[in-house]
Structure 1
Amino acid sequence: MSVADTTHTGPLGLWRGTATHDEHTDEFALSFAADGTVSLTTPFSTGEGTWTATGARSFSYTIREVFNDRSVMPGWIAINVDATHFEGTYTGSGLCYVHAPDGTVVGSTFAHVTGHRQNPPESDPS
């Protein structure tokens, strides 16, 4: 099995990529852990959430993204993505909801994401 083969490891590890939404493209880093958690870092925000495998090469994740400068975006964004991965690259898309500080949904956007594996974990020998 090659290091880029993610059949047994799913999205575990660090990925860097871009998210395109509303005519903007933003860079991100995502870290997927074996316990089902996922962490997001961008130049402007951070986020935490969960992920789950949905097939041999597919997964989904949900993240609550909070902006570093709360005066720019005082609420948060609920990110929901369905993705597939193959040979060290994943692509996905999903609907994201913008929330006001009180939790009210004030908008939504559809995002397309592409990520590239940075550090593949050890393969599962099973």
Structure 2
Amino acid sequence: MKKVLSAGALFCFTLFFSQKNQNYLKISYASVCCGPASEKPVISYLKEFKRKNQIRSLEILMQKGLGKEGEFNVYVGTDFLSINQRSRLIRGLNAAVSNQNNGRKQESNGMVHFDSADIAHQQDLVNAKNLTIYKK
């Protein structure tokens, strides 16, 4: 009986403390007429940033189902980054989003919005619907 309780307590402790990040950068994908833009340019930048800076894990969350045409948000955890890494990440995300918005077809592709001052906190995301860990 003690082993079962110990295992249960360990599981609950691990589950409770698994979400380490408290602050997240928010990247919003909006639709114009035919669905939102692809998240691939931003995600490929994040993977490259992770590789170049030798970061073990970069927490990326995705919230889908925000509109009729498939709008969604991507959240990137920033708590384990140094100040220098965080500023480089923000500059790179601004460039990736700007390039993606400038290269889109004006009438058919959606827009990507990123504001480095728009920080989502863990408490904001606790009650968010359709929030999953990004795994691709």
| Length-normalised TM-score, structure 2 | 0.27
- Bigger relative contact order, structure 1 or 2, given CA contacts below 8 A and separation 6+? 2
Flag the structure with larger Rg.
Answer: 2
Q: Which protein is richer in strand relative to its size? A: 1
Q: Which protein is richer in helix relative to its size? A: 2
| Length-normalised TM-score, structure 1 | 0.28
